[in-house]
Structure 1
Amino acid sequence: MVEVMISETSTFPKLLEKVSILSYDKDDMEYFVERIEYQNVERLKLFVEKFGDVVDDLMDHYQILVILFELTTRYPGIAYVHHFKGILDAFLESDHGSKLIQTSDPSFPTTSHLIKLFKLNTDDMLVEEEQIKKTVFLMLSYGLDVTLEDLDTVYRFYGYCDLFRLLLRMDVQFCDRHKPSSMVRMYCDPSTDLEMCLDDSSSIASLLDHFNHPKLKQLCLSSSNNQIASIAKELPQVPLLAEVARNAARKYIARGFKIETPKQFYSLLDQLAIDRLSKSMIALEIKLY
């Protein structure tokens, strides 16, 4: 059946009409998985729709989602990206979409892999971003886990956006092997001390948008990046009162309510009886400088 699905002949649709039950064993399932990247997308959709019991069995034994993303490192290029997306959608948009997500390793950074795949292989930024958001939102509705790496990748490529804001309000899987950027640490943990973040050169420009700190300013003034140095030079002599109040509020909430996760922080912040502007400032949604 697998080879017929892959072949360019018209045999598969005819075979599909005549076969209602498939006999298979573990070796057959393994072969299906090994050849999954060669599948004809339209035929795969027909297979998934008709042989749901086989698909369920496959997902019980193999992490199809993880396997698909791991294959993408071997086949770069725009043509493969669209083919991969078709295979992913064949499962994701079927009745088995929820199981595809829920049988996957919760620590696997699915969103990060999806973004990097598209960013490295497509030129149409608008189409690519819309496709990513649509797919991620669908996977989240099925219970996709969010990792710290996912947050880091979303922020690195898109900055503070609707998707990033949503992910901050999910249960985030923390992994020791991934060190996030300083700005993402700030978003995830309101008790983070700014001085602990100054060794991350990739976040300096972003930190300048929100903080007017002597050590940060001095670091930027001595930067070889003229634009960063110029921005630092234009900062006020002392921090804005709004920054002082915001920093105090973040630390008070973190310590007073024993905040341990981003979800706890943003859920509490969303419920506070304060105006929308103040909430946005405390959440670092608004740039002060």
Structure 2
Amino acid sequence: MGQAPPQRIPRQDVVVPDTLPQKLVFAASRGRMSILQDPQHSSDLYTARDSAGNNLLQVTIKYRKKQAFDYILSLADFPLEALNDRRETALVMALATSAEERGFIHRVKRYFAWELIKRGANVHALNSVGHSLLHKSIVYRAHKSALILMRRGVDVNARNSAGDTPLHLLVKSRYSGRSHEQATGLLYHGANPKTPDSQGREVFECALSSEPVVRRLVELVYDYTFDELEQYDLRLECLLQLALIDSPVFERILQLDVEVVVDEDLFEDYFRDLFRIKEKYLRILIERFEDLVVEIIEEGSNEFIFAKAFPVRNSRLVANIDLLLDSTVGHFLVDFFNSLRCCTYYVTWSREVNESRAVEMLLNMLSYGVKVRPSDFLLAYNKFGYGELFKHLLMMDVNFNLSYDSFIVSILPVVISNVTLDIHEIMAKNAASTRVKIDDLFYYFAHPKVRAFMREKATKELLLAKIDKLPRVPLLKEYARDAFRKFFVQRFGIKGPRQFYTLLKVLPIGRPIEEIITFDRMLYHV
């Protein structure tokens, strides 16, 4: 093992070595071997102490001086268990970290701990706050030290001041490549996985609550915890976590005598997880715990805001919604969708979804009775533009109003959907609104009043540049289109977009004319 990099000695620790003990402490902190090995000083090596009560062995540990440490440790009968002013032994110091080490024990200090344990240092010592050396070895990943401590008979079930055993600490700590090996060693040497921590959680539950959850570690602890002949209370969040990590323990644990325990404060999390787990696990939950799934949908959806970030692949979200709708609990999910202001959020929120899949999913949701709202038009248009999804929504009779608290209103989809209103009425209703989006409107309108409205609402220079490119005199096609739409609505008493666009299909007009009337064809290329 290489020499540790030199450690800067704090200014307050530098003492002018005007006495022999101070000279020896200075030599130990700087690794001055010529002074330490001077035969004239041999007896004084045992008694010299620094201002904090550290003997020379502790000083070499403090300043990570490996060569000096090896020399002091080789001295016959050097006091390994001497305490400094903080009641710390050399081994306790070796398994502690300084502020500049930031919670990671230096490799040289791991070496110190290993050598001290081999030399017979007291492995049962506690640090100043009552943590055992095994706890510290686990936290600081001193794997060799932890192994030899277990072999020397350290209490593997001792609790630290926070109520955690070494096994608790291991599963709660950031996972490393040796964590599984350490857990195996602890369990082999008698660690009890059923011992609860200060919050009443056994090791299995702690392993499922760690970040990230390590499947291999969970499965190891499961094998040492559960027995076919016993009855268990299992928290629902643990069961869902097993499904989220795709662990075979999910199905194994349900073969036992298990009572699922629900936390009323976690229904929102349970509800979110229904859309995150794989279909096979969701199907098992519905079959085994139908009443519980209903309760999750009813209680969790009441507090759930789907506009929050939803960490799941869209394909899984889509598949799970389809599965839930097609199951015995489907009507409860429909009630939830119908309580929202916008159902197409489920379809269009992810960048991964393509429009054809969004259309398929929306039609499936509608077939189960999910309602469409005005905000769905805006969201579908903002996501895919005037495409297939938006055209399918036009076939729904929607009570359209122009009041939205959480949406920026795009004027063009409002014009297309509100067949009973013309552009001037819509502008009048939105004259005072600051949440208006005029993007795309300049491709269809050049009327002076509409142009003035667009200039007032434009928020980008690029939009203003496009508006300025519009002709001063609108095309006759624009006037003809608007006049026809108004006449058509009045002549046939049309109330909504479905009636309007269905009747339009039977008129003996050419495709180009139809596209102009439906805003499917741009009039101005600016």
Which category of TM-score, normalised to the shorter sequence, fits these structures?
0.7 to 0.9
Pick the aligned partner of 1:152 from 355, 378, 394.
Answer: 378
* 2:450 aligned with 1:212: no
* 2:277 aligned with 1:41: yes
Greater shift, 149-158 or 268-277, is seen at 268-277
Distance (whole Å) between structure 2 residues aligned to residue 260 and residue 101 of structure 1:
30
Q: Contact 1:106–1:173 (CA<8 Å) still a contact in 2?
A: no
Distance (whole Å) between structure 2 residues aligned to residue 221 and residue 175 of structure 1:
24
* 2:354 aligned with 1:129: yes
- SS in structure 1 at match of 2:520: coil
Distance (whole Å) between structure 1 residues aligned to residue 505 and residue 300 of structure 2:
33
- SS in structure 2 at match of 1:172: coil
Distance (whole Å) between structure 2 residues aligned to residue 171 and residue 230 of structure 1:
37
Q: Matches of residues 100-179 of structure 1 in structure 2 within 5 Å?
A: 101-114=333-346, 117-118=349-350, 125=351, 127-130=352-355, 132-174=358-400, 177-178=403-404
Q: Matches of residues 239-254 of structure 1 in structure 2 within 5 Å?
A: 239-254=474-489
2:413 maps to amino acid? V
Distance (whole Å) between structure 2 residues aligned to residue 231 and residue 72 of structure 1:
33
Distance (whole Å) between structure 2 residues aligned to residue 224 and residue 70 of structure 1:
29
1:146 maps to amino acid? V
| Residues 1:170 and 1:23: Cα distance change in structure 2 (over 3 Å) | farther
Distance (whole Å) between structure 2 residues aligned to residue 214 and residue 255 of structure 1:
25
Residues 5-47 of structure 1, C-alpha deviations (whole Å, 9 max, x = no match): 225464431355679xx999xx969689453334671363232
| Residues 1:286 and 1:70: Cα distance change in structure 2 (over 3 Å) | same
Distance (whole Å) between structure 2 residues aligned to residue 70 and residue 169 of structure 1:
28
- Give how far 1:233 is off: 3.7
Instruction: Give the equivalent residue in structure 2 for 1:232.
Output: 467
- SS in structure 2 at match of 1:41: coil
More helix by share: 1
| Residues 1:90 and 1:218: Cα distance change in structure 2 (over 3 Å) | closer
Distance (whole Å) between structure 1 residues aligned to residue 446 and residue 489 of structure 2:
21
Distance (whole Å) between structure 2 residues aligned to residue 224 and residue 68 of structure 1:
35
Distance (whole Å) between structure 2 residues aligned to residue 266 and residue 29 of structure 1:
50
Residues 68-89 of structure 1, C-alpha deviations (whole Å, 9 max, x = no match): 962562xx36xx133x863663
Distance (whole Å) between structure 1 residues aligned to residue 399 and residue 486 of structure 2:
23
- Percent of aligned pairs with the same amino acid: 23
Q: Contact 2:334–2:369 (CA<8 Å) still a contact in 1?
A: yes
| Residues 1:12 and 1:227: Cα distance change in structure 2 (over 3 Å) | closer
Instruction: Give the equivalent residue in structure 2 for 1:92.
Output: 322
Q: TM-score, normalised by structure 2?
A: 0.43
Instruction: Give the equivalent residue in structure 1 for 2:410.
Output: 181
* 2:240 aligned with 1:6: yes
2:340 maps to amino acid? F
Instruction: Give the equivalent residue in structure 2 for 1:121.
Output: none
Greater shift, 257-266 or 4-13, is seen at 4-13
Residues 114-140 of structure 1, C-alpha deviations (whole Å, 9 max, x = no match): 36742xxxxxx4x33355444334323
Distance (whole Å) between structure 1 residues aligned to residue 291 and residue 398 of structure 2:
27
Residues 151-197 of structure 1, C-alpha deviations (whole Å, 9 max, x = no match): 11121232211101111111325467527432222112223232344
Distance (whole Å) between structure 1 residues aligned to residue 300 and residue 403 of structure 2:
21
- Give how far 1:242 is off: 1.8
Distance (whole Å) between structure 2 residues aligned to residue 229 and residue 189 of structure 1:
26
Residues 177-222 of structure 1, C-alpha deviations (whole Å, 9 max, x = no match): 5274322221122232323444367443422111120122345568
Residues 207-265 of structure 1, C-alpha deviations (whole Å, 9 max, x = no match): 21111201223455686744334433433343222222211110011112222222222
- SS in structure 1 at match of 2:474: coil
Q: Contact 1:210–1:284 (CA<8 Å) still a contact in 2?
A: yes
1:243 maps to amino acid? E
Q: TM-score, normalised by structure 1?
A: 0.72
Q: Contact 1:145–1:172 (CA<8 Å) still a contact in 2?
A: no
Distance (whole Å) between structure 2 residues aligned to residue 224 and residue 142 of structure 1:
41
Distance (whole Å) between structure 2 residues aligned to residue 91 and residue 276 of structure 1:
38
- SS in structure 1 at match of 2:338: coil
- Give how far 1:280 is off: 2.0
Q: Contact 2:297–2:333 (CA<8 Å) still a contact in 1?
A: no
Instruction: Give the equivalent residue in structure 1 for 2:424.
Output: 195
Q: Contact 1:98–1:143 (CA<8 Å) still a contact in 2?
A: no
- Give RMSD over aligned pairs: 3.9
Higher RCO (Cα < 8 Å, 6 or more apart) = 1
